Structure 1
Amino acid sequence: MLPLLLAGCGSVTERKSSLTAPELFYLRPYGDRTGSKTKVPFHVQAEDVGASRGSVARDHRLTVDVSGSESVVRLRTVGLGGNGPRCHGGTVRVTCELGGDYDSWADLDRVYPVAAKGSGPGDTGVVRFTFTTGDGKRMTTRTRVVVGEPVVKVRTLKAVVGVRPGADVTVPLVVRNDGEVPVKGLGLKLGSEFLDFRQRYANCRYSLRSHGGTAVCRFPGLRIPPGGAVVLRPAVRLRASRTRTYTSFSQVAWPLDSGPGRDIAVPSRGDHGDGPALKAVVTSARDTDGTFTEGPVSTAVRLDIHADYEVFGVELHGSSGVRRQLRLRVRNNGPGNPGNAIRLVFTPPPSGVVKEPMREIDVDAFEPLCDSADGTYTCPVDELGPGESRDFVFTLRLYGPGEGSVTVEDEIPSGGRRDANPGNDTAAVTVLP
């Protein structure tokens, strides 16, 4: 037996043998390789906790059977396991000889359902699974399969620019079904970065942070026919930051009966909104303009605001060979905050750099913060809110009088600050006798 596993609050729970498969799975129509790009692949897992963990004995059996549904669904077997076939049978019934732990995503031998020739969108069938342990115990489960898929897409939006600080941003939401069968129930996830939800709807759960949050909304009774679309009303409103120059919001939708797509994380907790319900109004896809995309889409939001970054000149005194500490300061005079979009570039005066800023990469392990090349040091400034500053401390061995410089520039040459006062972006670093 496996050791007992701890399960929350100090309680102890014994791990149990199990056989799992999807309750529902949509199949591509026969011979069709298009369809959803985000669908989670068919997945079967079987585990006998009483089996020896290190054993490779094939004393367990997994039987997959679609008898009675042959006109809708057939079986396909892929792979060979080591010293010969582990699975044998036909397209209606397959038996695999396995060890005590099987995962169709990891093991070499896989059996999965495909649409039968002659089947059509909307046809349904049943796939039955039986896992027999080495001592004869049996576990069973089943999957209902449907030929055709609902392919849910959301309308992409152009970047929202010129937003006044603290103003509302209206987000029109449109969802379309480009699949062969209806969407039965809709899930929707809205994410905001440095944007606040102005209205919290009753059929959505909200997980909020200090710099935005996530809303997960569900429409269990909604049906979207193939080629149909829904418009969500009222349009979602988000309040923009008063200082954050660049923000964004994201959206993704999925059929409730089959769940979110691959790599789509959906919070399981959150507080229900206290406002009215968000409603999905069915319309024709022909009545909706724009580009629709499957999976998460993000829309940039840009405030109509600039950020004035300033660097300060420094004078060092000393003869050749003397060491001096140099403190370079950069300050954001506001009113905007462009985030991690700025870097400081330091060109030393005639001298040798004997000590430079470091950052911790592990416990008691450090590396230089700045990249050095061609005699200059380029340092990430990281985020500075309006009125905040940061110092970069170097130690120099002076070679005699001379002049260097310190400047601040955008990570992206096209400009992140939209600095209205570029005259204070550069300052001299001077060594005097």
Structure 2
Amino acid sequence: MDKPPKPSLSAPGLFYVRPNGDKSGPEDKEPYHVTVGNDTGAGARRLTVDVLPGSEHAVRLRRHGHCSGDTLHVTCDVDSSYNNWVNGERVLPVAAEGSRPGDTGTVRVTYTTKDGKELSARTRVVVGEPVVEVRTAAPLEDVRPGAEITAPVVVHNAGEVPVVGLGLELGSGTQEFTRQYSNCRYPQTHHGHTAVCRFPRLRIAPGGTVVLRPALRMRASAASMYGYFTQEAWALDMGPGQYGSYPKGGDAGDGPALRAEVTRGGHGRFAQRIVSTEVRLDTRADYELSDVTVHGDPGDERGVRLTVHNEGPGDPGRSARLVFEPPPGSGVVKQPMEEVDDGYFEPYCDEKDFTYVCDVGELAPGKSRTFDFTLHLGEPGTGRIALRSIEGPDVGRPDRRDPDPTDDSALVTVAP
């Protein structure tokens, strides 16, 4: 019979704290995390946190919940599955008043099991934080479909202490890499569209900037009118953030090594986390509608098929809605439905004042989208279908640059 696992205590080996009184710093930073594992049974346990002698100038303690003590020694009653991200009792290291960026100290965390056994872990606390930023770029406008594009990768440390080791994730987005790097991994699950690079020996001083060379080289999409590529960087000893991650595995690239070169200053605009650059192709998307005629007498029911076709050559993504105004006197008795849950359907199109608005969705060049309605016919008459551009921050730039807007509307006619 296997022996049960022994209780364990986990705390960060290294943790950066903001200088005293400063609330800025890196976005999405992973908070100080203390956990207990494999301890069983009811009853309170004891968690003790101490600032070790000689560290008082750099670090102090801040307590929350039912804990007692002072800024150098705190004790809390906790349970056997303690996790300070979940439990109300927590003790956090903070910068001591009068400390300076670069000062360091050590905090010891001790957990006492129900049997009286003590488990301990130590955290080296550094005052100040590296704040890694990537230089942003304006959208690349009027790019020829399929053209090769290059983009610099520039990283800046806006923090108070050095970046020690750099992680980098490069995403080609709607483009394709035409140059890979021998010291980066290309995870198979991303089909060559993502590079993950590590520079464990790289140091970037506070206020310092590095340029990664050779520059990114990619081939633009042949059709996607509004594409993008991404860059993200982080300090290796901090990780990509509480909610950040990067793909694992992958083979090394078959091109030159990506190398970091220190440069003076940090010219340009920089941003934390993922920096996305838009790529806008110099192309058009010709959406077409066609007239539809249904024949019948008043009281008959007839199907009507409303089709949107993209003649190309561009793919604008999700960019348009179809607006259907039925002929006067004719009513809709059936409309397109979508399954929103297992076996449960709802109307796909929005309806207001007898007008139906249907999201066309993405429509690649040469593709069509058909919406099937059934009409209860009235007297002969004419309705209308038209395309309406989608607007809003969630759809990017929806302009199709349609070269022939005259076929963006058509007639729906009821005839004898």
Deviation at 1:30, TM superposition (A): 2.1
Closer, same or farther: CA 138–202 of 1 in aligned 2, 3 Å: same
> Who is 1:298 aligned against?
276
Would the aligned equivalents of 1:195 and 1:211 in 2 still touch at CA under 8 Å?
no
| Consecutive unaligned residues in structure 1, runs of 5 or more | 1-11, 80-84
1:338 aligns with 2:316: yes
1:116 aligns with 2:96: yes
> Who is 2:259 aligned against?
279
Closer, same or farther: CA 252–334 of 1 in aligned 2, 3 Å: same
> Who is 1:182 aligned against?
162
Q: What is the Cα-based RMSD across aligned positions, in Å?
A: 2.0
1:73 aligns with 2:59: yes
> Who is 1:323 aligned against?
301
2:250 counterpart (270, 280, 303): 270
d(CA) in 1 for partners of 2:87 and 2:190?
43
Instruction: Supply the AA of the counterpart residue of 2:359.
Output: P
> Who is 1:402 aligned against?
381
Would the aligned equivalents of 1:77 and 1:111 in 2 still touch at CA under 8 Å?
yes
d(CA) in 1 for partners of 2:190 and 2:130?
36
d(CA) in 2 for partners of 1:291 and 1:262?
24
Deviation at 1:14, TM superposition (A): 6.6
Would the aligned equivalents of 2:95 and 2:127 in 1 still touch at CA under 8 Å?
yes
Would the aligned equivalents of 2:39 and 2:113 in 1 still touch at CA under 8 Å?
no
Deviation at 1:204, TM superposition (A): 1.3
Would the aligned equivalents of 1:194 and 1:212 in 2 still touch at CA under 8 Å?
no
Deviation at 1:274, TM superposition (A): 1.6
1:247 counterpart (211, 227, 231): 227
1:229 aligns with 2:209: yes
> Who is 1:4 aligned against?
none
Deviation at 1:194, TM superposition (A): 1.3
> Who is 1:61 aligned against?
46
Deviation at 1:209, TM superposition (A): 6.5
Q: Secondary structure at the match of 2:172?
A: strand
1:307 counterpart (261, 269, 285): 285
TM-score scaled by length of structure 2: 0.94
Q: Secondary structure at the match of 1:249?
A: strand
Would the aligned equivalents of 1:194 and 1:211 in 2 still touch at CA under 8 Å?
no
d(CA) in 2 for partners of 1:163 and 1:212?
22
Trace 1:28-427 onto structure 2 (pairs within 5 A): 28-52=18-42, 57-58=43-44, 60-68=45-53, 69-79=55-65, 85=66, 87-207=67-187, 213-285=193-265, 288-350=266-328, 351-412=330-391, 416-427=399-410
State the Cα deviation string for residues 156-202 of structure 1 (Å, max 9, x = none). Answer: 11011100000112111111111111111111112232111111111
Would the aligned equivalents of 2:318 and 2:398 in 1 still touch at CA under 8 Å?
no
d(CA) in 2 for partners of 1:15 and 1:402?
79
d(CA) in 2 for partners of 1:15 and 1:403?
77
Instruction: Supply the AA of the counterpart residue of 1:369.
Output: Y
Would the aligned equivalents of 2:212 and 2:258 in 1 still touch at CA under 8 Å?
yes
d(CA) in 1 for partners of 2:244 and 2:170?
12
Would the aligned equivalents of 1:166 and 1:241 in 2 still touch at CA under 8 Å?
yes
Closer, same or farther: CA 268–15 of 1 in aligned 2, 3 Å: farther
TM-score scaled by length of structure 1: 0.90
Would the aligned equivalents of 1:189 and 1:251 in 2 still touch at CA under 8 Å?
yes
Q: Secondary structure at the match of 1:200?
A: coil
Would the aligned equivalents of 1:358 and 1:369 in 2 still touch at CA under 8 Å?
yes
Closer, same or farther: CA 248–153 of 1 in aligned 2, 3 Å: same
d(CA) in 2 for partners of 1:394 and 1:67?
75
Would the aligned equivalents of 1:344 and 1:380 in 2 still touch at CA under 8 Å?
yes
Q: Secondary structure at the match of 1:262?
A: coil
Q: Secondary structure at the match of 1:309?
A: strand
Q: Secondary structure at the match of 1:220?
A: strand
Q: Secondary structure at the match of 2:406?
A: helix
Closer, same or farther: CA 211–221 of 1 in aligned 2, 3 Å: closer
Deviation at 1:16, TM superposition (A): 5.6
Identity of aligned residues (%): 55
Closer, same or farther: CA 169–15 of 1 in aligned 2, 3 Å: farther
Give the number of equivalent residue pairs.
Answer: 410
Range that drifts further, 306-315 or 22-31: 22-31
